[in-house]
Structure 1
Amino acid sequence: MASKFVVFGGNGFLGKRICQEAVTAGYQVVSVSRSGKAPHSTELNDKQWMQEVQWTAADIFKPDSYHMLLKDAANVVHTLGILLENENYKKTLSKTPTNDSRSHLLFLGTGPNPLKKESPYFTYEMMNKQSAIMLANTFKQEIIKKSKKEQAKVNGRSFTYISADRGFPMIPSGYINSKREAELEIEKMQEYFRPIIMRPGFMFDEHRNAIGPRSFIHGALELLYCGNKFLLQNKLQFMNELIRPTVSTQQVSHSILTKIENPDFKGVVSLEEILKA
């Protein structure tokens, strides 16, 4: 029987590509989200693999709503998170761009809203940090319930957390701080599973051709990166730290599966390593 692969936020911008990669690799894939619905897509290829995924609704902050899904899971992936403590930036990403390009640089998101705007959970502390720690702890508790022999099979289990390469200009430090704090707490649980910490930069989807704010930002960042590489030849360290390469959701997903399928791997996967995927 195929190993169970559970993706929290599996209908999001990155989450759906992780589900697709896992289905292709032969896993039994479960997507857990607030709505429990598959993402909208007009692509025939998407519709084919989406039929293989179990789309399930649950609340990340209520373990009782999903702990049974983790009972026999071999791999758990947490993709939830926010870049700004305001849900409107994610809505903006799906709109047609305006002439005010400066505003687009503030709206760097990674998926659909996991919670309603009025929710007290829509903070860096709760969404980026506590939701991941709560999920990891719930996974850990399900492992503890197993026999000693099953508990000992640590290399066969993994918990993947989608962190970030670094912070973004004009984005509060709470964003990257919450990510790093979550990483530390998750790595403490390596007695029960292999912690895999992914640190991607700004993400784009290779199969999305629609023009919008995300495409605008992707193009602008690529232009800056190429200018720094070919014109400045990466000679200015502060520019190298500020201008980072973009990465596709497909590259991130492939890298995740590669690390999961290596029973000896645990720890941080840098942006540079993801780009090699």
Structure 2
Amino acid sequence: MGRAPKWDAVTSSATPPAWSHKVTWERGDILRPATYAPLLKGANFVVHSMGILLEADYKGVLRGQESLISGLRKAFTAAPQPGNPLERRVTGADGDIRPPETREQLTYENMNRDSAIMLAKEAAQENAAAFVYISPPAERPCYRLEAESTIAREFPGMRNIFIRPPFLYDSSRPITMPMAAMTGVGAAFNGITGGIFSNIMGAAGVKPLKVDVVAEAVVQALHDEAVKGPVEVPEIEKLAEKAWRSTML
């Protein structure tokens, strides 16, 4: 069994939140399906909620677990484009889904696209009723669309839900607060100008959302069988509001 996270690294307090005691914590490696596949047995719903913005282990650099030079080398080393992970032969005792040539590199593709596709595959094999993929930002829509289209095509037996949030912020991650403020200004400007700069501004032109809002929307979407396919920002907000109202009854 795994350990609970270090709470002051993921929330604003070192004290575990009340709900954390209702969770069974397990350890796994998203890039090695063999480490988590047994945990999916009997699962009704499976949610993929991880990814990176930079092609380097920037968290490892910030925590002193990796040198800055090593992190920069990973970030700027050109990596091959290995394509659909379902077409690769996963070999070796660890079952790492990364090709050998990118084994030492955390690329945007393997963290945001490939891990989602392989998790969906494992979920489908265990007959999960629904699968949620929280898509990466729209700045790299090709990877998002590749993941979504592959999951929808290869695993039609599951109700696949593709949550497409904008920039997410939370007080537990102080760096996200000023970034959210700037994004909010961009969204306001985009609204005033009628959205004519949407293609240029990308995610910077969309109102940011608090992490909790997206989490509530995901839970609501899983329990509403009418929800499937891409879920954009307006629907995310509606689902979150519906979830909030249900707690008031």
**TM-score normalised according to structure 1 size:** 0.62
Q: Distance in 1 between matches of 2:147 and 2:141?
A: 10
Q: Residue in 2 aligned with 1:163? A: 135
Structure 1 residues not aligned, in runs of 5+: 1-31, 94-117, 144-153, 168-174
Q: Distance in 1 between matches of 2:158 and 2:209?
A: 27
Indicate the SS of the match to 1:68.
Answer: helix
Structure 2 residues not aligned, in runs of 5+: 64-101, 241-249
1:239, CA displacement in angstroms? Answer: 4.4
Q: Which of 120, 137, 141 is matched with 2:121 structurally? A: 137
Structure ranking higher in strand proportion: 1
Indicate the SS of the match to 1:160.
Answer: strand
Q: Which of 169, 191, 215 is matched with 2:177 structurally? A: 215
Write out aligned runs for 1:1-277 (5 A).
36-41=3-8, 43=13, 46-88=16-58, 120-143=104-127, 157-164=129-136, 166-167=138-139, 175-205=140-170, 208=171, 212-229=174-191, 233-239=192-198, 242=201, 243-276=205-238, 277=240
1:214-248, Cα deviation, whole Å (9 max, x unpaired): 1111111112323443xxx2335124762111011
Indicate the SS of the match to 2:156.
Answer: coil
CA contact (8 A) 1:63 1:135 kept: yes
Percent identity of paired positions between Structure 1 and Structure 2: 29
Q: 1:241 to 1:165 in 2, by over 3 A?
A: farther
Q: Distance in 2 between matches of 1:90 and 1:215?
A: 21
Q: Distance in 1 between matches of 2:58 and 2:172?
A: 22
Q: 1:267 to 1:239 in 2, by over 3 A?
A: closer
Q: Distance in 1 between matches of 2:160 and 2:175?
A: 33
Q: Distance in 1 between matches of 2:233 and 2:60?
A: 23
1:159, CA displacement in angstroms? Answer: 0.5
Structure ranking higher in helix proportion: 2
Q: Distance in 2 between matches of 1:259 and 1:64?
A: 28
The aligned amino acid for 1:177 is C
RMSD after superposition: 2.8
Q: 1:121 to 1:132 in 2, by over 3 A?
A: farther
